[in-house]
Structure 1
């Protein structure tokens, strides 16, 4: 019987998840600041261009062997790169021009539910009861956060952008999972990021013009968004996804909205409403519930024959 994974072997995966969630949470704060000086398309292109350069440097330093993707893998890489890296970034940046952070968090966090459904149907991960229950509880927490922080107006176009972001996010994760069975996580992330940057090239002129007038702080924020929430966080995400079910990893992203509230409190002095704090606690409970494993069935007892050795 194979031995269960040791606690030591799970620590790097846990560390990768923590780094990913903290970096992605910080991205919301960064986008909020940089978005005042850079338009959605320019911001997406700049972020992905910086991320591509950093990822290429990391791949060169790591001296990993380049594994040639098959035709099917190129197709999955295109879905991941165009959808999750390209369209998702464009849609999310545009959504935050039309909606407040709370409403955006509620709508984009349809993504983990779609990931669990698609992974159960297409990747054979099934629908474990703890995962389904944890998804429901965590999404309820996001709803509470959204209700506590939402503004008075909701733009229909912003809602559409959020739903596009959620769908492309889910499709990208589900397409990425099979790739990690054979291709190195860093290589997958690099190809997807470069693909997303190529998709955003129509905004190259806008980026060049806006960088000339943007303050130094916004340019530094753009570099941070490309280096940390993009290059680093997507790499640690791919590392964890190669070692976890897509559905179980996806539900951990419900911790991002509470982390955004905490970072906003610490860095921007934005005191969260009491209901948002309750929602964050509910998100934590949902993620914890999703991580539970069902009780293993006791082995069936086989009656020994008379005279058998003890």
Structure 2
């Protein structure tokens, strides 16, 4: 029981590192996205992350994963590391923040549905209730922080495709983590994503030549921390829990984005934003909680019969 509890705490800590770094990515994307196009930004981030992961992989001498893990690695690399990155970057340039939050945050719901259908993940009432609360909070945060931008059909479709690719990538990654290590799955998935984004190489070279150093450093940061480190801690935690619970955990990201925007950019959140962030965190707490074990029923032992009773 002690070993199980320790593993659960390590997985929760890894998940916490992931959501914090993914939240920080939104602040960096605001700067890098002004100078780099969606495809170039995705490729630059993947290259930076792949280099760091490749060095760690070589130093640790992890070796190649077994053949049975390659299918999940390739699918997650194509969908999540590659297609998702480009579609999300492009979609968020076409729609306002509220629409993007509404569409993209359907991803954890799709993960739960696909996980139940394809992986046999359980869907307890606490998980469903927590996800419903968190989704409402994510929408509230997005709507409260949206500007005057519009919502094009193309942008909505791209955000929806990004959510579907995210869910498909996570569900494909889960079985691979049963055969390979978190570092192997993340490193090779990042490399597959970089290969998918190679058509944007010319754009990346041209834009990097004229981009300010701050934007390029933000792109490198996105590759080293929210990608290389955060995707590895994500894979570590995913290998030790269900895809549905991990998907629900990412609903903490909108609340952390509000806090980081307040601290780093001076964007003071309004009442609706704070309420939405609180709902996100409350939903995550509910979805990751476990029902209390029922107290054991103590059956009293029969009293030994007295001599008088026996008589």
Query: C-alpha distance in 2, partners of 1:175/1:58?
Result: 24
1:192 corresponds in structure 2 to: 189
Other structure's SS at 2:251 match: helix
Query: C-alpha distance in 2, partners of 1:81/1:67?
Result: 15
Within the candidate set 116, 121, 125, 1:120 is matched to: 116
- Once the two structures are superposed, residues 126-174 of structure 1 have per-residue CA deviations (whole angstroms, 9 ceiling, x without a partner) of 2111001111111111121122122332222111111111000000000
Q: What does residue range 277-296 of structure 1 map to in structure 2 within 5 Å?
A: 277-296=274-293
Does structure 1 retain, via aligned residues, the 8 Å contact 2:26–2:257?
A: yes
Answering whether residue 137 of structure 2 is matched by residue 141 of structure 1, we say yes
Does structure 1 retain, via aligned residues, the 8 Å contact 2:40–2:204?
A: yes
Deviation of the 1:274 alpha carbon: 1.2
Structure 1 residues 303 and 120 mapped into 2: Cα distance closer, same or farther (>3 Å)?
farther
1:46 corresponds in structure 2 to: 44
Query: C-alpha distance in 2, partners of 1:128/1:60?
Result: 41
Higher mean C-alpha deviation, range 223-232 or range 139-148: 139-148
Ranges in structure 2 where 5+ consecutive residues have no aligned partner: 305-311
Within the candidate set 139, 146, 151, 1:150 is matched to: 146
Does structure 2 retain, via aligned residues, the 8 Å contact 1:69–1:183?
A: no
1:107 corresponds in structure 2 to: 103
Other structure's SS at 2:62 match: coil
Does structure 2 retain, via aligned residues, the 8 Å contact 1:137–1:282?
A: yes
- Once the two structures are superposed, residues 20-70 of structure 1 have per-residue CA deviations (whole angstroms, 9 ceiling, x without a partner) of 111101111111110111000100111001111111011112232433323
Deviation of the 1:7 alpha carbon: 4.2
Query: C-alpha distance in 2, partners of 1:28/1:156?
Result: 23
2:215 corresponds in structure 1 to: 218
2:251 corresponds in structure 1 to: 254
- Once the two structures are superposed, residues 86-138 of structure 1 have per-residue CA deviations (whole angstroms, 9 ceiling, x without a partner) of 01000111012112333322211100001111111111112111001111111
1:11 corresponds in structure 2 to: 9
Does structure 1 retain, via aligned residues, the 8 Å contact 2:249–2:288?
A: no
Deviation of the 1:302 alpha carbon: 8.8
Does structure 1 retain, via aligned residues, the 8 Å contact 2:70–2:176?
A: no
2:81 corresponds in structure 1 to: 85
Query: C-alpha distance in 1, partners of 2:138/2:171?
Result: 22
1:237 corresponds in structure 2 to: 234
1:203 corresponds in structure 2 to: 200
Does structure 2 retain, via aligned residues, the 8 Å contact 1:56–1:190?
A: yes
Query: C-alpha distance in 2, partners of 1:281/1:135?
Result: 13
Q: Name which one, 1 or 2, has greater alpha-carbon Rg.
A: 2
2:307 corresponds in structure 1 to: none
1:29 corresponds in structure 2 to: 27
Query: C-alpha distance in 1, partners of 2:51/2:29?
Result: 20
Alpha carbon RMSD of aligned pairs, Å? 2.0
- Once the two structures are superposed, residues 242-281 of structure 1 have per-residue CA deviations (whole angstroms, 9 ceiling, x without a partner) of 1111111110100101111111111011111210100000
Does structure 2 retain, via aligned residues, the 8 Å contact 1:111–1:170?
A: yes
Ranges in structure 1 where 5+ consecutive residues have no aligned partner: none
Pairs aligned (count): 303
- Once the two structures are superposed, residues 180-208 of structure 1 have per-residue CA deviations (whole angstroms, 9 ceiling, x without a partner) of 11111100011110000000010101111
Structure 1 residues 298 and 121 mapped into 2: Cα distance closer, same or farther (>3 Å)?
farther
